[in-house]
Amino acid sequence: MGKKPDLLPGTLDMLILKTLTRTPMHGYGIAQSIKRQSDDVLTVEEGSLYPALQRLLLQGWVKAEWRMTETNRRARYYTLTATGRKQLGLEVSQFEQMIEAIGRVLSDAKEA
């Protein structure tokens, strides 16, 4: 029947960028972070995550470098760039505007 999506389409890039504002992280960690901070409501599948990171790299919104994790594992760390931070602000404001607009439609307020 109606299968619930793992996340709201169109919001993944924003969520990733936001997650990277705190500190550089590797892909796996980004997914874990989003899942945890959303109380397991949002799940980022690997098949969504890595293509998204490629997009962000291509746009220049993040940069990447190979490093070792604390547990001595090879991992690719992503860092938010200046333009990435700007983009995040843009996406957040557009998102909030949309949410408000949807809220107006969903509310039962009568119109003229």
Partner DNA sequence: TCCTATCCATAGGCTATCTATAGATAGGAG
Partner DNA sequence: CTCCTATCTATAGATAGCCTATGGATAGGA
Instruction: Find which of DNA, a copy of itself, none residue 36 binds, CB within 5 to 8 Å per kind.
Output: a copy of itself
d(CA 42, CA 8): 9
Asked if 111 is part of the footprint of a copy of itself (rule: CB under 8 A), the reply reads yes
Does 98 engage in binding with a copy of itself (CB under 8 A)?
yes
Q: Please answer whether residues 59 and 78 qualify as being in contact, where contact means their C-beta atoms are separated by less than 8 angstroms.
A: no
Determine how many CB atoms are found less than 10 A away from the CB of residue 64. Answer: 16
Give residues 21-40 in contact with a copy of itself (rule: CB under 8 A).
34, 36-39
Q: Is 70 in the site for a copy of itself (CB under 8 A)?
A: no
Do you know the residue count of the chain?
112
Closest distance to a copy of itself from the beta carbon of 66 (Å): 26
Q: Tell the burial category of 32 from Cβ atoms under 10 Å away from its Cβ (0-12, 13-18, 19+).
A: middle
Instruction: Tell me which residues touch DNA (CB under 7 A).
Output: 3, 5-7, 9-13, 26-29, 44-48, 50-55, 69, 71-77
Q: What is the phi/psi pair of residue 87, to 5°?
A: -60, -40
Token pair recorded at residue 102 = 């949807």
Contacting positions for a copy of itself (CB under 8 A): 2, 4-5, 7-11, 14-15, 18-19, 34, 36-39, 41-42, 87, 90-92, 94-95, 97-102, 104-106, 109, 111
